[in-house]
């Protein structure tokens, strides 16, 4: 899982964890069933780059279901 290969931007979509996921490495994101995840990048291999609160990492896309449309983050200054 090479983060330089993902399409990372300030646009994200929301998914909800269907299953718990225990990470196998520090670069992976732990999932708990029912958690909402902001997805910022995807890889063809099925690994997605996401954020839960202040935690960011990779997780398998087959553990989640999409629940939201794309959202564009903006500076509100």
The boundaries of the domain holding residue 7 are: 3-71
* DSSP labels, 36-77: EEEEEEE-TTSEEEEEETTEEEEEEGGGEEE-S--EE-----
In a domain, 77, yes or no: no
- In angstroms, the CA 20 to CA 76 distance is 34
Whether the predicted pLDDT of 72 surpasses 90: no
Whether the predicted pLDDT of 37 surpasses 70: yes
In a domain, 76, yes or no: no
11 pLDDT band, cuts 50/70/90, is confident
What's the CATH number where 67 sits? Answer: 2.30.30.40
Number of structural domains in the chain: 1
The chain-wide mean pLDDT, for the chain, equals 86
> What predicted TM-score, i.e. pTM, was given to this entire model?
0.78
């Amino acid at each position: 899982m090479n983060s330089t290969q993902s399409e990372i931007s300030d646009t994200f979509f929301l998914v909800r964890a269907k299953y718990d996921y225990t990470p196998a490495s520090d670069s992976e994101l732990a999932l708990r069933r029912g958690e909402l995840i902001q997805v910022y990048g995807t890889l063809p291999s099925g690994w997605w780059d996401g954020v839960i609160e202040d935690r960011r990492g990779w997780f398998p896309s087959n553990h989640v279901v999409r629940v939201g449309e794309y959202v564009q983050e903006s500076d509100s200054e």
